[in-house]
Amino acid sequence: MDDSLLRAALDRETRALVAVGAPADPVPTCPGWTVADVVRHVGQVQRRAAARLTGAAPTDGPAPPDDGAELGRWVIDGLAAVLAALPADLDEERPTFVGPRPARWTLRRLAHETAIHRWDAQAAVGPPAPIDPDLAVDGIDELLTVLAPLRLDPAAFGAERVTLHVHATDVDGEWIVELGAPGYAVRHGHEHGDVAARGPASDLLLLLWSRLPAARVQVFGDAGLLDRWHDAVTI
């Protein structure tokens, strides 16, 4: 996804999250958390990332404010710190929680983390807005190619070799995910899988992040493999 679009998405999604209000409302997709907890989490993640981008030790710093309006301003200040810390050349390597990566890696990770949690917070108070299709399809790619290999339980599928086909219908995006022995692999393309999930990119992303049920998309083949995906990839 274009760097300028990622920057715009991070700004847009952060401001939409802060605008949700209802800080005491529980968030069904984040059990045990309120809207304020989600906002606070995103603010802390962004501030840690800003510190890493500048070479400082990633710490939470002072406790975020409890007041809703003050908390919102605190998050927006953290967003400004992230955007200011990004180098002009996003190919420059910076520390991350998985080791040195181009600064673009952090920008992308924050944009998607914020978008998912914006959806969480909005879903706590009413119908949430879908994630922008171009952002969502990039989020699917990040999840399948970057995060899932880090978090997949290798024992979840044992000696089986199963394939998951993910097909976005509103923007270009298709992936084949191979799970089980001899390991995890993902590639772009159109192939038959043991299970296929087909639908709008936002719904597919939220399905893969365990936010939406499989009934929200078209599923072909062994639907039980989607449940096993959720059990195997804990994020």
Write out pLDDT tens, residues 143-168: 999 999 988 887 788 788 999 999 99
Flag whether pLDDT at 225 surpasses 90: yes
Global confidence as pTM: 0.95
What are the domain boundaries of the chain? Answer: 3-125, 133-232
Measured between alpha carbons, how far is residue 102 from residues 6, 9, 94, 138 in Å?
14, 18, 6, 17
Flag whether pLDDT at 183 surpasses 90: no
Domain 3-125 belongs in CATH node 1.10.10.60: no
Bridge-based pairing of strands 161-168 and 101-102 is unpaired
Distance CA 136, CA 89 (A): 24
pLDDT tens track for 92-149: 999 998 999 999 999 999 999 999 999 999 999 999 999 999 999 999 999 999 999 9
> If you average pLDDT over residues 72-91, what whole number do you get?
96
pLDDT in the model for residue 232: 87
CB 195 within 8 A of CB 226: yes
* CATH number listed for the domain at residues 133-232: 3.30.1050.10
pLDDT tens track for 1-60: 899 999 999 999 999 999 998 999 999 999 999 999 999 999 999 999 999 999 888 776
pLDDT in the model for residue 60: 65
pLDDT in the model for residue 99: 92
Q: How many CB atoms lie within 10 A of CB 231?
A: 11
